[in-house]
């Protein structure tokens, strides 16, 4: 089992920045992919960005050039730096970990952190 705890959400004005953190309960060097998803009210959860064990990153088109995902294997933490925030970025943001255990792929979720972009 992997426990994930997100932090760093809050209220920010349009054009502002936030950095989300996701702390894992175990070494993330053994976790294949870690990612950030978001879900706005009435919307489906969507991938924002992910990063694999080889540090390869993937971003949703809507956040390319504004958001940066990174992982610190020494701190067992994944970050999402969000710049030039827009009202449409308002959502609950969830950390996700995909790990292969005994040949099976398991997904784990954090509890989420709210990001509100509003003036």
Instruction: Tell me the CA distances in angstroms from 13 to 36, 53, 87, 117, one per residue in order.
Output: 21, 33, 8, 5
HSE value, Cβ hemisphere, 13 Å, CA-based, for 64: 6
CA 116, 43, 105, 56 torsion-angle sign? negative
What is the predicted pLDDT for the residue at 84? Answer: 98
What is the predicted pLDDT for the residue at 29? Answer: 84
Closest among 36, 97, 45, 95 to 67, alpha carbons compared = 36
The per-residue pLDDT string of the chain (119 residues; one tens digit each, 9 = 90 and over) reads: 899 999 999 999 999 999 999 999 988 888 999 999 999 999 999 999 999 989 999 999 999 999 999 999 999 999 999 999 999 999 999 999 999 888 899 999 999 999 999 99
């Amino acid at each position: 089992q992997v426990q994930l705890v997100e932090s760093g959400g809050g209220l920010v004005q349009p054009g502002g920045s936030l950095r989300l953190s996701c702390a894992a309960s175990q070494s993330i060097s053994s976790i294949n992919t870690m990612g950030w998803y978001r879900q706005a009210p009435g919307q489906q959860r969507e991938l924002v960005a992910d990063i694999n064990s080889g540090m390869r990153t993937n971003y949703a088109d809507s956040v390319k050039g504004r958001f940066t995902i990174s992982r610190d294997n020494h701190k067992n933490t994944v970050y999402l730096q969000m710049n030039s925030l827009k009202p449409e970025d308002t959502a609950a943001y969830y950390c996700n970990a995909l790990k292969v255990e005994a040949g099976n792929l398991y997904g784990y979720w954090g509890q989420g952190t709210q990001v509100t972009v509003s003036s």
